[in-house]
Amino acid sequence: MLEVAPLLLGATLRHGEVACRITEVEAYDGPNDPGSHAFRGPTPRNAVMYGPPGHLYVYFTYGMHFCCNVVCGPDGTASAVLLRAGEIVEGLADARSRRTSARVDRDLARGPARLCQALGIGREQNGHDLTSPPLTLEPGALAGEIRSGPRVGLRDAAERPWRFWLPDEPTVSSYRPAAVRRRRTT
């Protein structure tokens, strides 16, 4: 998973007429990672993470957004890479129609939920084989530096430097640590 994550930078995720060049990802190591959906073992929600590799794990979060991961571990081992951000390189009109709140094109797929919305990815794509149209992942030619740092918005294991991005890329999402939960006193 740590080997695969940087290789996804520069790759193109294509869904129908819309294509997105991946600029930011985060790695998740299943049962060895308290930040992973698979940390406590298999469930109906995370079953796709257990393989086979090369499929899309799509989940619903915060009761309103879909996010997607590329499954990358061997069959039977939960491991995936969250696609955090990208640049829409084809199908701008379709992406804009799905993301009407984006004021500028760099924000169309800047963040994991926005990326899914711009590409029209939802629950029905969960488990999709990424070699099979209309939803495919195409390798990219990446030249230049890759940066890594802590993952975004996690309470557990956020400090692991498993977030990878292309420096100076305007579509990379802003880093935000998880909000600290405070106990209510009455």
53: buried, middle or exposed (CB in 10 Å: 19+, 13-18, 0-12)? middle
User: What six digits make up the tokens of 64?
Assistant: 């309103």
* Residue 123 forms part of a structural domain: yes
**H/E stretch holding 60:** strand 56-61
Q: Indicate if the pLDDT at residue 183 is higher than 70.
A: no
Q: Give pLDDT tens digits for 42-92.
A: 888 899 999 899 999 999 987 789 999 999 988 999 999 999 999 999 999
Average pLDDT for residues 7-32, to the nearest whole number?
A: 95
Q: How many domains does the chain have?
A: 1
* Residue 57 forms part of a structural domain: yes
* Residue 170 forms part of a structural domain: no
Cα–Cα distance measured from residue 85 to residue 53, given in angstroms and rounded to the nearest whole number: 21
Q: Indicate if the pLDDT at residue 153 is higher than 70.
A: yes
CATH classification at residue 96: 3.10.300.10
Cα–Cα distance measured from residue 33 to residue 79, given in angstroms and rounded to the nearest whole number: 10
Which are the contacts of 87, defined by CB distance < 8 A and separation ≥ 6? 20, 21, 23, 106, 109, 169, 171
Confidence tier at 158 by pLDDT (50, 70, 90)? confident
For the chain, the average pLDDT equals: 90
* Residue 182 forms part of a structural domain: no
* Residue 186 forms part of a structural domain: no
* Residue 174 forms part of a structural domain: no
Q: Domain of 57?
A: 4-165
Q: Indicate if the pLDDT at residue 181 is higher than 60.
A: no
pLDDT of residue 33: 83
Q: Indicate if the pLDDT at residue 168 is higher than 70.
A: yes
- pTM for this prediction: 0.91
Nearest to 46 by CA among 55, 58, 33: 58
SS (H, E, C) 121-137: CCHHHCCCECCCCCEEE
Cα–Cα distance measured from residue 156 to residue 39, given in angstroms and rounded to the nearest whole number: 11
Residue 9 and residue 25 in contact, taking contact as beta carbons nearer than 8 Å: yes
